Structure 1
């Protein structure tokens, strides 16, 4: 490989590392071409999987400011450059590694922060972005419903109290009106006897 080809390859890998939201470093020793094709197809929607040269990748990572791959670039290496959902890409890699133990997830980087193999597995265990957003929306809707109830409760209690007072006043009003009428009838009856 000529010096200009090396420089171009380093620049290409560095650009992919910068443009990707995440990258996962793997070792694929012992996997067949067919298995690598299956892996590429399984994560195609979320990432591109490329076999890379260790020395070029080391220089490209340094150029991109990524320290997560230091000491990890040994053996046959490939990188999953994640441009889609990092959780789904991590799930695809984890599931493929379970079915094909020769694929070893070594390290990764997510939004510039280094990830260990265990952290990538934990990332894969998360639910997808859409599910998490749906759960958040449901929780917010529940909180809003509670808030509306809490704000409406004093108002409805006040309305019930006013209605109870009104009913009490109305219940007492006919008795109060009937009493003066009965007194007037009594006065008339008493006055009629005196004359």
Structure 2
């Protein structure tokens, strides 16, 4: 099959998309058919600064994905496709997409790629159910603090036992009149 030749403006678009694929922690493909411009604006705001939402022609996006070494995405380039390039926290972007899709049935999560591996729509929804990195770090810090407190109490126990025993002996001697 002959290689498809694109005009210069489309080559630039493919190059830009290829860079976005390469620079992103994850990319989620969605179908946006039926969403209004204000709804798309609301989605972009919900995604925050760690992700960008871009509508792209399937032929250009498919070529860019292929150029970035992501040919596993070919099955998702059907119908109107928009790409969510995640450069920040993947969990936060997945939550924003999942929550927006709940409120707006026109947004359909097709699938995507994370760390170079393909992920299905169900896997993206499972990622959205995870705690964010900050929450996980807080939980880990709390668990470590609890472990350190237990260790400190364990190390202090023999000394406090000796002190209690000495006090008990003193009280016993005082009671015996010695």
Q: Per the shorter chain, which TM-score range?
A: 0.7 to 0.9
Q: Which runs of 5+ in 2 are unaligned?
A: none
In structure 1, list runs of 5 or more residues that go unmatched.
175-195
CA positional deviation for 1:76: 0.4
Misfit runs of 4+, over 4 Å: 165-173
Q: Does 1:19 align with 2:23?
A: yes
Q: Secondary structure at the match of 2:40?
A: helix
Distance 2:92 2:85 in 1: 13
Q: State the Cα RMSD in Å.
A: 2.1
How many correspondences in the alignment?
174
Structure 1 counterpart of 2:60:
56
2-structure distance, mates of 1:44, 1:163 = 63
Aligned counterpart for 2:149 among listed residues 145, 149, 153: 145
Task: Report the alpha carbon displacement of residue 112 of structure 1 after superposing the two structures with TM.
Answer: 2.1
Matches within 5 A, 1:1-195: 2-165=6-169, 174=178
Q: Would the aligned equivalents of 1:68 and 1:115 in 2 still touch at CA under 8 Å? A: no
Q: Secondary structure at the match of 2:35?
A: coil
The alignment's TM-score, normalised by the length of structure 1, stands at 0.79
Secondary structure in structure 2 of the residue aligned to 1:69 = helix
Distance 1:173 1:66 in 2: 88
Query: In structure 1, how many angstroms separate the alpha carbons of the residues matched to 2:175 and 2:71?
Result: 83
C-alpha distance in 2 between matches for 1:173 and 1:142 = 45
Greater alpha carbon shift after TM alignment, 71-80 vs 112-121: 112-121
Distance 2:13 2:104 in 1: 29
Could you state the TM-score of these two structures normalised by the residue count of structure 2?
Answer: 0.86
Question: Which has the larger Rg?
Answer: 1
Residue in structure 2 matched with residue 188 of structure 1 by the alignment: none
